[in-house]
Structure 1
Amino acid sequence: MFKAVVTDVFFDLDHTLWDFEKNSALTFQKIFKSNELDIELARFLEIYVPLNLSFWRLYREEKISKEELRYQRLRTAFDQLGMFVSDDDINQLAEDYIANLSTFNHLFPGTLELLDYLKGSYKLHIITNGFEEIQEKKMRNAGILDYFKVVVNSEMAGVKKPHPKIFKMALEMADAQPKTSLMIGDSLEADILGAKNMGLHTLHFEYQKKLDHTICPSVMELSEIKNYL
């Protein structure tokens, strides 16, 4: 579908290539043990995961700072669990989480096969809202950094997806045109609508299988992207 027109493929990282939820769960398992916190991981994640998404939305909308995001998602989760955890312990957990997250390197099934398939025909790039200090570590430790010509994060751009400025910066750094560029990501708002508003082609990686829309084509497995490129 896109093969005849696309020269550059832009990927989101977390929840698209890098299996954020799996790596995050392993990180919490590790830091709870190292900090000697007796917490049922499954119960914690049941509360934390949706909270994290809601706080990330506030962060994306510039309503909270990075520091507030890191603190409040943990504080709110523990409060909802009915657990008292001191501010010092919250701050230590927040630091430990960032320090350890990139040490787990699970990718979505088919990531390496897809990148190998695409690299000879397209220029590949990353546009991510993740924190600058760990996104490159994630890619390097997972063995995928060298696939990408340009990696743009929200801290470099000074704005977060879906703001037009981050897509404009990525296109300029990649020396790419919107009409010959494709954005692939999991977030309908940040990745798909953000890129579409800038004139890029879009392909929605809908791995959670929850949404039904006609905004652009959707795939539920990375291997399906080969049908479009």
Structure 2
Amino acid sequence: MQHAKRYKALLLDVDNTLLSFRPSSEAALRKAFQIHHLPYEDVYYEVFYWVGEVLWEQQRRERLSVDEIRTLIFPRLLSAIGIEADGNALSDTFHLQLHEEAVPEPGAVETIAKLSERYQLYVASNGVLEMQRSRLEIAGLANYFTDLFVSDDIGAEKPSERFFHEAMRRSKTEPRELLFVGDSIEADMIGAARSGIDRCWYNPQQLTAPARPKLNYTITALSELPRIL
């Protein structure tokens, strides 16, 4: 069994690590359609999800930016479901609604409370700073974090080394002092590995681990974190 390493700080992803993205985004999508007086069916979220997956995969490969995804996703969704509407306006409304939606991952609040007694905690997320701050506040998590590193404020996106280097500069930490906890192999694990930061893969679906990058830890529940560190 690997001996635990003493870290100074933990970097944690938000969506699908601290907060469950699906219930939050599904509620925001339904409300956005209602606000724009558009018909809504449950299957529309499934289309939204898969359109988003295709675009986010391109972002993780550094071929699209978060802003470009925001511009593209709703016109593609509307085209796929055959509804004529203003995609940009719908996108703006969706993101405003998402500010107010937050469902913690199982065990997130209890785990973060415990970890905050031993470590400096930092958010490391692609997205919009004020949105993530609002959602973490609603979830009862914001006060546990020393700072929030979010791509629109950082000026770079995971998995780029610029994102991680700026996070280290702001937190006054070095790679050896950090552990990154996140669900995405491409954005989180590969991004952290490029910068020499240890990695903990949050894998609640118990997917097969990739050969690369090397993972220092793998957990299937957030409650495992305090026990392994």
Same fold (TM over 0.5): yes
The correspondence for 1:165, drawn from 141, 162, 173, is 162
**Which piece of structure 1 moves more, 218-227 or 112-121?**
218-227
**2:31 aligned partner:** 30
| Conserved 8 A contact 2:129-2:148 | no
**2:143 aligned partner:** 146
**1:57 aligned partner:** 57
Shift of 1:60: 4.9
Q: Give the Cα–Cα distance (whole angstroms) in 2 for the partners of residues 79 and 121 of structure 1.
A: 49
User: Aligned to 1:84, what secondary structure does the other structure show?
Assistant: coil
Q: How does 1:94-109 map to 2 (within 5 A)?
A: 94-109=91-106
Q: Deviations over 1:112-142 (max 9, x none)?
A: 1101111111111111111233121111222
**2:40 aligned partner:** 39
User: What one-letter code is carried by the residue in structure 2 that aligns with 1:71?
Assistant: T
Aligned length: 225
User: What one-letter code is carried by the residue in structure 1 that aligns with 2:194?
Assistant: N
| Conserved 8 A contact 1:17-1:108 | yes
Aligned-pair RMSD on alpha carbons? 1.9
Gaps of 5+ in 1: none
Q: Give the Cα–Cα distance (whole angstroms) in 1 for the partners of residues 113 and 98 of structure 2.
A: 25
User: What one-letter code is carried by the residue in structure 2 that aligns with 1:184?
Assistant: V
User: Aligned to 1:93, what secondary structure does the other structure show?
Assistant: helix
User: What one-letter code is carried by the residue in structure 1 that aligns with 2:176?
Assistant: K
**1:85 aligned partner:** 84
User: Aligned to 1:124, what secondary structure does the other structure show?
Assistant: strand
User: Aligned to 1:112, what secondary structure does the other structure show?
Assistant: helix
Q: How does 1:183-202 map to 2 (within 5 A)?
A: 183-202=180-199
Structure 2 vs 1, CA of residues 65 and 212 (structure 1 numbering), >3 Å: closer, same or farther? closer
User: What one-letter code is carried by the residue in structure 2 that aligns with 1:120?
Assistant: E
Shift of 1:219: 1.4
**2:176 aligned partner:** 179
Q: Give the Cα–Cα distance (whole angstroms) in 2 for the partners of residues 63 and 194 of structure 1.
A: 15
User: Aligned to 1:121, what secondary structure does the other structure show?
Assistant: coil
User: What one-letter code is carried by the residue in structure 1 that aligns with 2:109?
Assistant: L
**2:71 aligned partner:** 71
Equivalent pairs: percent with the same residue?
Answer: 25
| Conserved 8 A contact 1:102-1:141 | no
**2:15 aligned partner:** 14
Q: Give the Cα–Cα distance (whole angstroms) in 1 for the partners of residues 62 and 5 of structure 2.
A: 38
TM-score of the superposition, structure 1-length normalised?
A: 0.90
User: What one-letter code is carried by the residue in structure 1 that aligns with 2:17?
Assistant: T
| Conserved 8 A contact 1:14-1:20 | yes
Shift of 1:158: 1.9
Q: Deviations over 1:37-63 (max 9, x none)?
A: 21212x112221121122123345554
Gaps of 5+ in 2: none
User: What one-letter code is carried by the residue in structure 2 that aligns with 1:176?
Assistant: T
Q: Give the Cα–Cα distance (whole angstroms) in 2 for the partners of residues 17 and 223 of structure 1.
A: 12
User: What one-letter code is carried by the residue in structure 2 that aligns with 1:121?
Assistant: R
